Structure 1
Amino acid sequence: MSFQWPTLLWTLLLLPLLVLLYVWLLRRRKRTTVRLASVAIAKAALGAGPGWRRHVPPLLMLGALGVLLLASARPMAVITLPLSQRTIMLAMDVSGSMRAEDVKPNRLVASQEAAKAFVNALPRDVKVGIVSFAGTAAVVQAPTTSREDIVAAIDRFQLQRATATGSGIILSLATLFPEHDIEIQHITGQRKFPGSNPIGDDPAKPKFTPVEPGSYNSAAIIMLTDGQRTTGPDPLDAAKMAAERGVRVYTVGVGTTQGEVIGFEGWSMRVRLDEATLKEVSSRTLGEYFYAGTAEDLMKVYESLSAKLVVERKETEVTALFAALGALLALVSAGLSVLWFGRVA
């Protein structure tokens, strides 16, 4: 916890002084008590006395003052809050290796089912966009809150040759930031993301300024892949672009790190998971890497991501909470004093 006005914390030194004042008043009252002839007469005159209850209201009032003095310093705390606006880009591998059956029924179907369950579990106001990548990348669904459109886009996946993991990240960034004029000609054949201004149209437009990695809390990218990059831009260069825009990239590895031989239409190839690169991509962007060796693992990964991506940890002023607690303690103190002694003392 931190404080915006920490110098006001010095006022807490008043609390020990109040304690000393209270002790002095008790002793003074004891000295001025009428001396009676005997203990029996004293008990008859005073009864059992208030005992420990005498000290409860003053103690509560002291706590109230302490909490209110802390509130005056304007405390700040890191708390978890639901995000008011969020866009999640799913960049999903549709290369030929996704037909491997080490993840049942096969990697593609398992990833599709897990992605659809993930989307349906998200709050309805979270936008989701879908990018598929193999040798090239394509936006199969622009960010939307329509779960039906998202699920339909996932069901339309078609397997292709090659694996361009970097292209999936870059096209996801271009979808999130069309105003940044991200060059994607080498990814899709288009010069830039549709809807952005042609290069040079606005010379007065400010240049892109990098931000701190992980600082952009309104969007995230989840990239799922089962293989190594075989074409397209380097995924580490793409990770650098994401880090400069503050976007976290969460990578999900599917399949085996040892590799598996798959065949299709007369050709065969060995495919293996490049965990080292996926871990580096997530590390550079302050995201996280997940490994899913089975369909059940993949479901659990998406459940974990769902919990991570719809909330944010943010430093927030909590003065109002301290003030409310202080007021509550003061009211309880006054209430007990009236209940037990018939006065506020």
Structure 2
Amino acid sequence: MRRTELKKENKGPVMGPAEETGVSSLFTRKHGFSFALNTFFPWFMFVIALALTAWIVHLALQEQIHPVVFTRKWALWGLLILLPLAYYNIKKDHHRNPAFNYSRLGLLTSIRPGLKTWFRFLPVTLKLMALGLLIFSLAGPALVNVYEETDEKGVDIIIALDVSLSMEANDLEPNRLMAAKEVVADFIKRRPNDRIGLVVFGVYAYPYCPLTLDHNAVTRLLGRVNLRVIDDGRATAIGEALGTSLNMLRRSKSKSRMVILLTDGDNNAGEMSPKEAAQHGAAMGVKIHTVLMGDPSGGGGKGPFRLFRMRSPVNPALLEHISSKTGGTSYLATDKQALRDRFQKLIDKMEKNKYISRFRTNRGIQTGFILAAFLILMGAALLENTWLRRFP
């Protein structure tokens, strides 16, 4: 019996009911304030971490002079997961089974929490901060760069191009339409600061390209123009072409607006007469320059070896009336070089007007937040394996 009692005594100290309740009950009875602080301090750290994360984001964005947009706004909902994660880690720590290197728990009643105890949630808090930054970067923050150039000057120009069948005559090489397209394309290149639009007309008139500074787009659309791009081209609606051109200029705020009409015939289609269109142009303050293409006496040949002579009615007096009514100029171009010269004269006479060109681009800035999250995770791992290392 004696040996049995000794063996039982060697198993370790016998803990009373008070000792079996553990450290939490001891702190509850003897250190009520410390226990309360131990309970709410992790939440305080979490709030501080959220504020610090918001401060980091604010500083990063405050340095930028441009507004910030998010390309994936739905990802910001992921920030809501931080609160339940914080709650889970705090509750998990409170229910953690403690382990001590003391034979009697009663010895711990006089021990107060140390500095490491208060900061034991720091690694978890840093991880939550890193997660918040990663979620923020996933939302795709981007700077909106708006570039303004106020030193540009230009004119709003509508080019009305005749695409009736008579434009197939080849007194202008290779034919009137191709020569006109080539000269107009060169004209567009020489006017980099002008907004240029395009109207094509035959039996009807159509706005083929709106006013734009994107001259590459205008040139591409001009290259697609052919004799039957809108209709069969058996008539020429000059009045409709001018009316359509003026309508495209109606909302223009430019002080200098003009229409350049290229045709080889007379008005023989459409509901609006050229003289009526000229009156509207004069009322709007829009200058209309006219260019009569080809030989007014009879035109050039058509088909192989120019066997078929093109004959179309022309009315130079009408074009001169349109130009003079609106303050423009009327030109005659009987060959390709003359056509180039007429356009060069137009360029020399054009007025200038100031423009503000705005270009908007988005530049992603999520890399900095990803790097910050990585550094914070490294700091959390370092603390967990050094100063705030826990046993077991």
TM bucket normalised to smaller:
0.5 to 0.7
Confirm or deny that 1:297 pairs with 2:338: yes
1:156 matched to which residue of 2?
A: 224
3-state SS in 2 of match to 1:311:
coil
TM-score, structure 2 length as denominator? 0.46
CA distance in 1, matches of 2:223, 2:155: 23
Q: Could you tell me whether the CA contact under 8 Å between 2:291 and 2:333 is conserved in 1?
A: yes
**One-letter amino acid matched to 1:279:** E
Give 1:243 deviation, angstroms: 0.6
Q: Could you tell me whether the CA contact under 8 Å between 2:155 and 2:352 is conserved in 1?
A: no
**One-letter amino acid matched to 2:350:** L
Give 1:85 deviation, angstroms: 4.5
Cα deviation, 1:38-76, whole Å, max 9, x if unaligned, reads xxxxxxxxxxxxxxxxxxxxxxxxxxxxxxxxxxxxxxx
3-state SS in 1 of match to 2:177:
helix
Structure 2 CA distance for partners of 1:162 and 1:263, relative to 1, 3 Å: farther
Cα deviation, 1:104-138, whole Å, max 9, x if unaligned, reads 1110010000000111011x221000001110011
What pairs up with 1:204-215 in 2 under 5 angstroms? Answer: none
CA distance in 1, matches of 2:314, 2:213: 32
Confirm or deny that 1:91 pairs with 2:160: yes
Give 1:259 deviation, angstroms: 2.0
Cα deviation, 1:245-274, whole Å, max 9, x if unaligned, reads 11110000101111237668xx98621431
Cα deviation, 1:290-329, whole Å, max 9, x if unaligned, reads 11000001111111111212438xxxxxxxxxxxxxxxxx
Give 1:155 deviation, angstroms: 1.0
1:170 matched to which residue of 2?
A: 243
Q: Could you tell me whether the CA contact under 8 Å between 2:204 and 2:237 is conserved in 1?
A: yes
Q: Could you tell me whether the CA contact under 8 Å between 2:246 and 2:281 is conserved in 1?
A: yes
CA distance in 1, matches of 2:344, 2:315: 23
Give 1:280 deviation, angstroms: 0.5
**Higher helix proportion (structure 1 or 2):** 2
Q: Could you tell me whether the CA contact under 8 Å between 1:255 and 1:272 is conserved in 2?
A: no
Q: Could you tell me whether the CA contact under 8 Å between 2:158 and 2:260 is conserved in 1?
A: yes
1:328 matched to which residue of 2?
A: none
CA distance in 2, matches of 1:83, 1:305: 19
Q: 1:223 pairs with 229, 250, 261, which one? A: 261
Q: Could you tell me whether the CA contact under 8 Å between 2:294 and 2:300 is conserved in 1?
A: no
3-state SS in 2 of match to 1:300:
helix
**One-letter amino acid matched to 1:172:** S
Confirm or deny that 1:117 pairs with 2:186: yes
CA distance in 2, matches of 1:217, 1:308: 15
What pairs up with 1:1-345 in 2 under 5 angstroms? Answer: 84-122=153-191, 124-159=192-227, 160-178=233-251, 217-232=255-270, 233-260=272-299, 270-311=311-352
Q: Could you tell me whether the CA contact under 8 Å between 1:131 and 1:168 is conserved in 2?
A: yes
Structure 2 CA distance for partners of 1:290 and 1:259, relative to 1, 3 Å: same
**One-letter amino acid matched to 1:88:** I
- Residue identity over aligned pairs, in percent, reads 31
Structure 2 CA distance for partners of 1:269 and 1:297, relative to 1, 3 Å: closer
Structure 2 CA distance for partners of 1:299 and 1:85, relative to 1, 3 Å: closer
**One-letter amino acid matched to 2:284:** R
Give 1:235 deviation, angstroms: 0.7
Give 1:156 deviation, angstroms: 1.3
**One-letter amino acid matched to 2:218:** I
3-state SS in 1 of match to 2:167:
helix
3-state SS in 2 of match to 1:260:
coil
Structure 2 CA distance for partners of 1:156 and 1:294, relative to 1, 3 Å: same
- Unaligned residue ranges in structure 2 (runs of 5+): 1-150, 228-232, 354-392
3-state SS in 1 of match to 2:339:
helix
**One-letter amino acid matched to 2:329:** E
Runs ≥4 residues deviating over 4 A: 261-264
Structure 2 CA distance for partners of 1:270 and 1:106, relative to 1, 3 Å: same
Q: Could you tell me whether the CA contact under 8 Å between 1:163 and 1:230 is conserved in 2?
A: yes
3-state SS in 1 of match to 2:207:
strand
TM-score, structure 1 length as denominator? 0.52
Q: Could you tell me whether the CA contact under 8 Å between 1:217 and 1:247 is conserved in 2?
A: no
CA distance in 1, matches of 2:205, 2:221: 14
Q: Could you tell me whether the CA contact under 8 Å between 1:97 and 1:262 is conserved in 2?
A: no
3-state SS in 2 of match to 1:230:
coil
Q: Could you tell me whether the CA contact under 8 Å between 1:130 and 1:142 is conserved in 2?
A: yes
CA distance in 2, matches of 1:117, 1:109: 12
2:60 matched to which residue of 1?
A: none
**One-letter amino acid matched to 1:249:** I
Q: Could you tell me whether the CA contact under 8 Å between 2:155 and 2:257 is conserved in 1?
A: yes
Q: Could you tell me whether the CA contact under 8 Å between 1:129 and 1:144 is conserved in 2?
A: yes
